[in-house]
Amino acid sequence: MKTGKLLILFTASFAMTTAWSSEREELLKLKNTTLNLIQALVEEGLLPAEKARKLIRRAEAKAAEEVKEAAAEAEEEASSRKAIRVTYVPQFVREEIEEKVREQLRKDVVDDVKVQARKKAGVSQVPCRNGWNVSV
């Protein structure tokens, strides 16, 4: 049983490595073919050497820019995965939130009404629960 699992893991890792190396190999072949083609055009006199160098520099600059953009996109995607998005909030949670907001709002409104009533009545001292009067 363990041998079978190990064989599967080895085969999968070999396939992934082969696919990655194959892709890298293809990219290197493409790069070398392009450079060889440009060099052949220069040797045939169809493309001036200075123009060929500019063409290669421009291609390298564009590739570097695309790599930066891809890295920025990957970073943005990774950061968006960290965000937790809640598409559904259960009814009991909504009711609990509503009750907490209502309770806090009620306290704030009562306090505001008391302050306004004191100002309107011109009361300078307000009785407290413990029986002491507090200056306002």
Q: What is the pLDDT of residues 24-45, one digit of tens each?
A: 888 888 888 888 888 888 898 9
Determine the 3-state secondary structure of 134 from DSSP.
strand
70/113 same-domain check: no
7/73 same-domain check: yes
64/118 same-domain check: no
24/66 same-domain check: yes
Mean pLDDT score, 61-77: 86
Bigger pLDDT: 82 or 73? Answer: 73
75/114 same-domain check: no
100/68 same-domain check: no
23/52 same-domain check: yes
117/63 same-domain check: no
Q: What pLDDT, on the 0 to 100 scale, is given for residue 23?
A: 82
Q: What pLDDT, on the 0 to 100 scale, is given for residue 1?
A: 45
30/74 same-domain check: yes
Q: Which two tokens stand for residue 99?
A: 């009750």
Q: What pLDDT, on the 0 to 100 scale, is given for residue 77?
A: 78
Q: What pLDDT, on the 0 to 100 scale, is given for residue 131?
A: 57
9/50 same-domain check: yes
24/6 same-domain check: yes
Question: Is residue 122 predicted with pLDDT exceeding 60?
Answer: yes
Burial class of residue 39, CB neighbours in 10 A (0-12, 13-18, 19+):
middle
Q: Note the pLDDT tens digit of each residue in 84-108.
A: 667 788 889 889 999 999 999 998 8
Q: Which domain holds residue 52?
A: 2-82
Name the domain count of the chain: 2
Among residues 34, 60, 65, the alpha carbon closest in space to that of 47 is found at: 34
d(CA 24, CA 32): 12
